Structure 1
Amino acid sequence: MKNKTLLIIGVFYVNFAFAQNADELNSQSKELLTKRDYEKALPILRKSAELGNAEAQYNLGYFLQNGVGIAKNENEAFEWYKISSQNGFNDGHYSMMMAYGTGIGTEISSEKAFEYALKCANNNDATCMWNVVNCYKQGLGITKDTNKMLEWATKLSLLENPENLNLSGNITSTRLSLAYMYRDADDVEKDYYKSYIWFLIYNEFKKDFSITQQNQIIEEIKTAESKITKKQLNSAKVDAEKIFGRKLTNSENLNKADF
């Protein structure tokens, strides 16, 4: 029994040592990559990937896909993305979504693309959530499902706006899309009050849009106000904050553009 215990401890130690080395090698490779020293970085990166570091597996896939510092090989890139995704790395999920969506290193499959988009979306990735919303809305890779579309659109809309302009734009665009959907009865029952509430939530970060677009939407908001009762107009901000989960801080700028 003592020898068996020692053996188990020994195996655990070796596995821990490999994991530690993989992480250390990944850190070393990233330091070298920031200096664009691909000749030294890529062998270290590959070793880290082979030892199981999920970030290194994704990074190796990226360099193979784009042929940066290494011969371009989209098929091998796909395999490393797949392994990275299997190890739970979100960028691995994202790359598998893109691979199946565009046929990079594999066949095009909208069903597989959606499968990985959903994995990525479950990590609150705004781009993947945006894709999941559109898949459920249009029936791409999955059966069209208005309830699921609204569920994911709401989740995306309630995220904090990040500094990344593209990601922030996806969030703000979804808020505006919900306002239009309820206004125009697009896959949902027409509801001017819900539409107005989403206009108020969109307004929080409307600077993601151009001044021209903002001014056009301001006119649409004025029209929306004319479609609801005075009582609804007075309660809209409170109800919007309940949905939003936090205070609206830009209400005073509802009728003017943000820079």
Structure 2
Amino acid sequence: MPLFHLGYCYINGIGTEIDKQKGFELYEEAEKGNDNAIDLLKTFFYEKGEEMDFDINEVKYWYQKSAEIDNKVALYKLGEIFELGNGVNQNEIKAFYFYKLAAEKGCANGKYKLAYYFLHGIIVDVDKKKAFNLYKEAVEEGHENAQKSLALLLEKGEDK
């Protein structure tokens, strides 16, 4: 983990001048020691794009690596990439697949997206009961948009 922290210092200019290239090289070396936390942090910096060239392929690569270790956030983000078609052909089936995996791992965002798919019949049959339950689970985890969606379903009497 020390190499990871040193890489973080270089990327953020903590106690040294900012040197993102050196920071990522240290992340790479730390990863060889099997430090799984690195994957998402790398992705975060690539997405921020600060003083770096944005490379969607690199972002996808790091999400995929994180997804391989069942990281719920990475699974959700892969779903987003396929839903929006960011650097890939838009693919609702793959998006649904990754949202489902994320939801199964307890990701509130994954549950929210999955509920939307069931509510609107996107690649699955409409199942308002399943959508309601997924929104409810996401609300219990503090997801604000799920709370709004759940309230709308309740107003329309579609909770049955």
Q: TM-score, normalising length from structure 2? A: 0.80
Residue 146 to residue 153, structure 1, CA distance change in 2 (3 Å): same
Instruction: Give the Cα–Cα distance (whole angstroms) in 2 for the partners of residues 204 and 97 of structure 1.
Output: 27
Structure 1 partner of 2:12? 66
Give the secondary-structure state (helix, strand or coil) at the position aligned to 2:158: helix
Q: Secondary structure at the match of 2:80?
A: helix
User: C-alpha separation between the residues in 2 aligned to 1:78 and 1:216?
Assistant: 40
- 1:233-258: per-residue Cα shift (whole Å, max 9, x none)? xxxxxxxxxxxxxxxxxxxxxxxxxx
Q: RMSD of the alignment, in Å?
A: 2.7
Distance (whole Å) between structure 1 residues aligned to residue 2 and residue 60 of structure 2: 24
In the alignment, the residues of structure 2 paired with residue 143 and residue 213 of structure 1 have an alpha-carbon distance, to the nearest angstrom, of 27
Say yes or no: does 1:185 pair with 2:131: no
Q: 1:78: which partner in 2? A: 24
Matches within 5 A, 1:129-168: 129-160=75-106
Task: For residues 169-216 of structure 1, give each alpha carbon's deviation from its aligned partner in whole angstroms, at most 9, with x where no partner exists.
Answer: xx2232122222222234x24x332x4213213313513035x96365
Match 2:143 to one of 197, 209, 230: 209
Deviations along 1:4-29, one digit per CA (max 9) or x if unpaired, are: xxxxxxxxxxxxxxxxxxxxxxxxxx
How many aligned residue pairs are there? 158
Q: For 1:196 and 1:89, how far apart are their aligned partners in 2?
A: 40
What amino acid maps onto 1:101 in structure 2?
A: E
TM-score, normalization by structure 1:
0.53
Shift in alpha-carbon separation, 1:204–1:101, aligned structure 2, 3 A: closer
Q: Any stretches of 5+ residues in structure 2 without a counterpart?
A: none
Residues of 2 paired with 1:126 and 1:82: CA distance? 22
Task: Give the match for residue 68 of structure 2.
Answer: 122
Aligned partner letter, 1:70:
T
Return closer, same or farther for 1:143/1:88 CA change in 2, 3 Å cut-off: farther
Q: Percent identity of the aligned residues?
A: 16
1:176 and 1:99 mapped to 2: Cα distance? 25
After the TM superposition, which segments of 4 or more aligned residues of structure 1 sit over 4 Å from their partners?
none
Given that 2:139 and 2:146 are in contact with CA atoms closer than 8 Å, whether structure 1 keeps it comes out as no
Alpha-carbon distance in structure 1 between the residues aligned to 2:114 and 2:85: 18
The whole-number CA distance in structure 2 between the counterparts of 1:154 and 1:182 is 11
Q: What residue is the counterpart of 2:44 in the other structure?
A: 98
Matched, 1:218 2:151: yes
Where relative contact order (Cα < 8 A, 6+ residues apart) is larger, the structure is 2
What's 1:176 paired with?
112
